[in-house]
Each structure stands twice: as C-alpha cells, then as structure tokens.
Chains A and B, each alone.
Chain A
C-alpha cells in the first residue's frame, strides 16, 4: 500500500462517525484505561464478564479514526465471546497490524477485522489501531492501565 487513503475504507470511516458500543458500563466487572502518549489518544473500556463470557463491553474516549473504528469494531467482535477467544483475537490482531502474520491464512478469528491489515504500512499509526486491543488485554488481566509505549 503506498496510499494511506486505502486504509480509510468506508467501514472504518463509518465506524468512526457512528461508533458502536460507545459509552460506559456501570456497574462493570472489568475496566481499563488506555493511553497513547505519543499522540494523546485515550480510551476508557468497561466490560461485564460472566461465566467466562464477555456479556457486554463499551468504550469511550477521544482518538483518531483508526483508533475509534478499531475500538468500535473490536467491541462488536468480542461481545458474546469466551474470554479466551477474545484474548486470542487480541493476539492475532496485534500480529496482523505489525505485519507478523498473514491476515488471509493466519488470523482465522479476525473476520472483517482484517480490513485493518493495511495499517502495517503506516508504522506511525499501528499504535492507534492496537490501543483498543491493548486496553482490552489489560482489562482482562485486571490491570487498570494500558499504554502503547
């Protein structure tokens, strides 16, 4: 990819404009805040996990389109899934945007999230796409804060 415009596909632009699962769950069972110190993106993630299943998940915060769309699509993708599967997705997502694994064959859990694979060609933006997943990882581990630094 030589043109960053290719990353800004309709799905990403649309989720940026109308993010799903936006807000805060109260009460929640899991919570973490994510920061991207370099660009100031900030994300607040709340989850309700029962019987090892992500029953509900919401996010709020301010960030760029990549960050917001990534959070919106992530929350939709992990809702209703077992925690272990959500963890595995986070792992695959990180591998994909860093260009370490092939989205076509090595990321079976990601489905339409593979549309973020182009981020690997915009190194300065990888952290934006990863922030929601890093925050999810922190929340599942019981850590209060995640940073992409």
Chain B
C-alpha cells in the first residue's frame, strides 16, 4: 500500500447510494451490514436498468445484433472480473449464482473426481456453512472425512500443525480468506504454499475478502477462488468461480443443458471448453453486467484507499466499543478486515439487533451461518457491525451510543 494515498471523499461517495438517505424508525439509516450484502452504487443500478430497458435479450444466441451486443456486454463483465482478481485468462472465470454455488460446483465436479473412500478434506475452524456443508455432503457420499485446522481464542488459525494435518490422504484444503464472523484475514498465500508443497489443491472462499482488499489469484497461487457479486457492491444472483485452467479442463461438467454443449445427438454429446461447460442454461445477464459496473466503481475508488478507510473505521469502532461495560469483542486477530463481532453480558444478540434497529442502525445479529464458530467461542449468537467505504466515524459514534443505550436498558 502506498503511503501517500489520497483519502476517499466519503461525502461524495455517499451520494451514489440512495438507500443511505432513507429514514428508519424516524432516524437516518446507518448501514453497518455490508458483510451481509453490500449496497450498490447508482452507477451499477443504472447500468443494469439500461440493459434491462434498452438492450435485453439472451446471450450466445444466434446472429441478431441485439444478441451479439448483449453477449459483448456480458463477456466484457467477465473480463472485468478477470482483471480485478488478476486471473490469467477469461477461460478461468466461471459465472455462478454466488459463493455457495461456486463451492458446490467444485465439490460436485473436482471433489467427486478426486475424493475417494478414506480420503480427507481439510477445512479451517472459521468456515462459513457454504464451505462446510458441500464438503460434508461429498464426504458422506464418498466415505471420506473432514478434518479441521483449529484456531486460537483471538480467532487466528493455528498453523503450527498444518504440515501434520495435511496427510497423503488429503485431497483438498478449503479456507476462508476473510472470516465473516471474526474479521480475521488469513495468511492464505502461506497456507497455499504449504499445501502445494504436499501436492494438495486449495479452494479459497473470498466472499468477504474481495470487497475489502486487493486480491491477486496468481500471486496467491490459489487453485480455486470464489466470491459473490452482492458483497462486492454488485447485485444478488451472480458470483464467480475462478479455477486454474488445468483444473477446469480436467473437471467434468456439472449441470447439463443448453449453452454448455458443443454438439448434442442421441448417441453422443460433447461439451464446450471451460468456462462454457459449467454454465448451463440462460445466465443472469443483467446481474453479470451490473457486477461489471460495480467492479468499475470500486476499482475507480481504489481497493487500497477502500482498505485504508475501512481499516481506520474498524480501529476506531474497536477502540470505542471495547470500552463499554460487559462488552466482549470476538476476533482479535492482528490482521483484520472490516468486520466487528461482539457480545454483551446479559443481552442476547437478537435483542441487541432489535434495539439497534430501532435507532436506525442496521447490523446482523445471529450465528452468521457459522455455527461451528459460535460453538468454538461458546456463544449462541453475536452482533456484527461491518464497515464499507461509505461509512463514517459519525456512524460509528451512533452505533456506540445505541449499544450503550441498550446496555443501560438491560441494566
């Protein structure tokens, strides 16, 4: 990160987000829930609307000018994704519905192809259900087992024993880049290097990473890297599977149907090369184009500047919240991004969530689709504030006073 970064002009940025001027329960909305889903800038909303109004048809269909145009926009969005994560080729960018579908795709194709009875799949202790359940389903089908990389009370992975956890039966390592509960930024580059030293491929769940820090899949040397459009200032219904071309080429297709074939006959059907063979049926075209526009938007702001701004907010919020009576922050890793989970003695997270909502402060209260993390820290649920590039210190102050008000009410 360069030292002389020009800070974001947040007041200007905020004008691009219509929702931020909404009033909730008579108070201005304070959106601290970008880890659940980010807000889309008008630039991306308008781009989708324009497509829907003036340009819509299907892609990869026939010779009409409209279809060619839509295909160009759609494929241009793929190129934007490629560039955004530093992939070598657009053939390595597969559209999916989101992170969850991308992981299921890998489990059901690459996983089915490589995992046999008695094999092991190694996951970290801080995975989202999306990077647990597809592997459990595969393990059950194949008679394989799941092993877990443990973490410390601060929410950092314990990597001392990684080399022992990776055995000659390990067929895949799955790890979250940034934890959606603890905010931990995991040293995925190091983990990948150590897995590769033993010949084990790695899938990185980047759902919470791509919105907050620059990602270069080739520098990381990730075998698979997955994320969702809606957490990256884009729309729902679109996500990305990056896979190294050699893997994608070796993998069988997943869903069958139109758009993924080269030719079909009753005797023999052949498939398109990657990424086409993984993209059966009509895709969410407007969503892909919207994600492309969202990527343009965050790229123009600059991931370095975004990271710097959010980091400052996180540090400020951590310092202020940590001082409140009975409040405990979950996740105190040295390297964190944008996510702040906490519990308050005597107040259930759902009560906290409702009370904050009454103050216009939107946070997530619950298990965050990471129940093993809740179990690890012996809490039923947490309240989580997550920060984006449009949030301000004043909003953190409002969060803090709303939390304090709840604490006083429950006293």
B380 is an interface residue with CB less than 8 A from chain A: yes
B348 is an interface residue with CB less than 8 A from chain A: yes
Q: How far is the CA of A16 from the CA of B349 in the complex (A)?
A: 14
Q: How far is the CA of A2 from the CA of B380 in the complex (A)?
A: 27
In the assembled complex, which residues on chain A have CB atoms less than 8 Å from the CB atom of B347?
Answer: 65
Q: How far is the CA of A2 from the CA of B346 in the complex (A)?
A: 24
A62 is an interface residue with CB less than 8 A from chain B: yes
Q: A8 touching B355 by the CB < 8 A rule?
A: yes
Given A39-B366, A62-B380, are A17 and B355 neighbors across the interface (CB < 8 Å)? no
Q: How many residues of A contact B (CB 8 A)?
A: 22
Given A2-B26, A13-B409, A63-B348, are A39 and B354 neighbors across the interface (CB < 8 Å)? no
B25 is an interface residue with CB less than 8 A from chain A: yes
User: Interface digits, B374-410 against A, CB 8 Å rule (1 contact, 0 not)?
Assistant: 1000001100000000000000000000000000011
Q: How many residues of B contact A (CB 8 A)?
A: 20
Partner of B350, one of A13, A17, A64: A64
Given A39-B366, A40-B380, A62-B380, are A5 and B351 neighbors across the interface (CB < 8 Å)? no
B75 is an interface residue with CB less than 8 A from chain A: no
Chain A: which residue is nearest B26 at the CB level?
A2
A97 to chain B, nearest CB (A): 14
Q: B351 touching A8 by the CB < 8 A rule?
A: yes
What would 26 A/B residue contacts be, using CB atoms closer than 8 Å? A2-B26, A2-B358, A3-B25, A3-B358, A4-B25, A4-B354, A4-B358, A5-B355, A7-B354, A8-B355, A8-B409, A13-B410, A17-B346, A17-B410, A38-B366, A39-B350, A39-B367, A39-B381, A40-B374, A40-B381, A63-B348, A64-B349, A65-B351, A65-B410, A66-B350, A125-B354
Besides the known contacts A39-B367, A66-B351, 18 further A-B residue pairs in the complex with CB atoms under 8 A apart: A2-B358, A3-B25, A4-B25, A4-B354, A4-B357, A4-B358, A5-B358, A8-B409, A17-B346, A17-B410, A40-B366, A40-B371, A40-B380, A41-B380, A62-B380, A64-B349, A66-B350, A125-B350
